[in-house]
Structure 1
Amino acid sequence: MRVCVLALVLVFAPLPSCTMVSAQQAPRATGGSSLTAIFESANVAASRGDHANAIAGYRKLIQAGVHDPDVYFNLATSFAQSDDYPRAILNYERALVLRPNESKASENLRDAEKALEEQRAELEGEATVQRSSSISDAVYGNVSENALAYALVISNLLFFAALTWIAIGRRRQRWLYPLLLISGAFLSIAALGLATKAGLLRDGPRIVTLDDRLILREGPDPRAQLRGEARGGDRGELVDRDRDFVKLRMVSGLEGWTAASGVGLIDPEHRVH
């Protein structure tokens, strides 16, 4: 488990933020316990195998507004060691949203998916977990927004420099045309990646299903006609909401309404599961 020192910085902003400070500087939370103490206590509980208390501690931090990749990573690891793989998958995904190039989180995410498949296969035979909801998510999933932004700027400069040189140059250099094509291709790839990261190519926020057999219905009513079911750890998108129900579009193409409590939004600033 990772050990870092977290504290809540109170600012006049829509969302609270967290920072790395020493234990002595940590502000006190309600009840006299600092956020640092909660984090350290959760880590100690996890190291002793007391994952129930570890999970409760990490969730308490998140509910206090601490959206930190290490907290989500540790929470995911505690869920994985408790054999709750859907929630482990959800929180590894959240850690990767905040720190996209984290190799350990990516590795643990794959391990959790594999463990869930093996767990399900033992009970039902061969089984798979539905992963990325689109090809673009799969391609750009581990590429940071900063890397894509740099690629966009550089390819943009090269593209328009080559285009300008071709337009005004008296002598046409043959090497300019391949440069124009290559830089244009990279420009398109980087722009598509940034659009994917921003969620512009999706109909709604990404989700992970948490219940092992999540019933999807025709409408936001427990008496509505059954459309199918999703399995825990599957990916999809949230496309609509009505009171305590959400409409999902799963990777398989299946759509339907279900109780919001059985779904986790990957965006870490949403409700905790």
Structure 2
Amino acid sequence: MSAITAILVATLLGQGYYSPEEAQTLFQQANEAFYKQDYAAAREGYEKLVSRGFGGADIHYNLGTTYLAQGDLGRAVLSFERSHRAGGDGPDLDANFALARAQQLDKVVGTAPEEPFLQRVVGATSGNLVAWAFLGTWLVGFAFLLLFRFLRPGRRTWAVVLGAVFLVASLPSGALLAAHVWVHETLHEAVVIAPTLRAREFPRDEAKVSFEVHPGLKVRVMEETGRYVRIRLPNGLEGWAEREGVAEI
């Protein structure tokens, strides 16, 4: 996706305060500032675009590269994750991702507990493919049932049978699509952005610290209460940490 395309898509889908021309100008100015190694100005420009709804893959990638140049590892990984989630890919993103991960202090070891069956199924299937499969079979089935009304008596049986077959065939993909939506809404991933994030046994300041993690580590947010969130590390270790220390992808 080109930078201009990302901006136009964001204009249609996002709630922006800039016109496409203003956003493109700001994007170019931020790029020029980055090339001049004026990372503060580049960061300010990209952050303005993101805060006003222009969060395309290219903008998140450039923002992540700027954070990385400034040594802000947590926000660099966060932006690269958001770029990937927005459809970004390619050798540049992979290379900077690898560079950022190599700088992380935390090397989490241990085996994570097995994911629930539903999450494993969702992780093994493509959400877009499932959505198209459901939409396609449902529309074809509905079209055959609609055709039933225009056929003469005695010639309707095949339309009913085919319509029923396609509608029944849409049920598994529909259920899987619902599972994708449910997991997407309930499974929250985040990145540690605090210089040192202390995870406690309970969501209280006086609770014992169980472990510490550092910028750039990807975690899962399990639940929240007050100013604390319960995070789970990739190896399954859990603890309560301050909400401001992590940012959701």
TM-score (norm 2): 0.65
Give the structure 1 partner of residue 144 of structure 2: none
Give the structure 2 partner of residue 262 of structure 1: 245
Q: Give the root-mean-square deviation of aligned CA atoms.
A: 4.3
Q: Decide which of 181, 205, 224 is 1:222's aligned counterpart.
A: 205
**Cα deviations by residue, 1:103-125 (Å, 9 ceiling, x for unpaired):** 22xx44543443244334xx79x
Structure-1 separation of matches of 2:17 and 2:59: 11
Structure-2 separation of matches of 1:207 and 1:213: 15
Give the structure 2 partner of residue 236 of structure 1: 219
Give the structure 2 partner of residue 118 of structure 1: 102
- Aligned runs of 1:30-45 on 2, under 5 Å? 35-45=23-33
CA deviation after TM superposition for structure 1 residue 230, in Å: 2.9
CA deviation after TM superposition for structure 1 residue 158, in Å: 9.9
Structure 2 residues without counterparts, runs of 5 or longer: 142-156, 159-164
1:93 aligns with 2:81: yes
CA contact (8 A) 1:42 1:53 kept: yes
Give the structure 2 partner of residue 70 of structure 1: 58
TM-score (norm 1): 0.60
CA deviation after TM superposition for structure 1 residue 45, in Å: 0.9
Q: Decide which of 124, 132, 141 is 1:150's aligned counterpart.
A: 132
Q: Secondary structure at the match of 1:222?
A: coil
Q: Percent identity among equivalent residues?
A: 24
Give the structure 2 partner of residue 32 of structure 1: none
CA contact (8 A) 2:60 2:80 kept: yes
Larger radius of gyration: 2
Q: Does the C-alpha gap of structure 1 residues 262 and 111 become closer, same or farther in structure 2, counting only changes over 3 Å?
A: farther
CA contact (8 A) 2:76 2:100 kept: no
Q: 1:56 is matched by which residue type in structure 2?
A: E
Give the structure 1 partner of residue 154 of structure 2: none
CA deviation after TM superposition for structure 1 residue 75, in Å: 0.7
Q: Which has the higher helix share?
A: 2
Q: How many residues align?
A: 219
CA deviation after TM superposition for structure 1 residue 240, in Å: 2.5
Structure-2 separation of matches of 1:239 and 1:49: 39
1:59 aligns with 2:74: no
CA deviation after TM superposition for structure 1 residue 97, in Å: 2.7
Q: Does the C-alpha gap of structure 1 residues 128 and 238 become closer, same or farther in structure 2, counting only changes over 3 Å?
A: closer
CA contact (8 A) 1:8 1:19 kept: no
CA deviation after TM superposition for structure 1 residue 248, in Å: 1.5
CA deviation after TM superposition for structure 1 residue 216, in Å: 0.6
Give the structure 2 partner of residue 16 of structure 1: 15
Structure-1 separation of matches of 2:64 and 2:4: 16
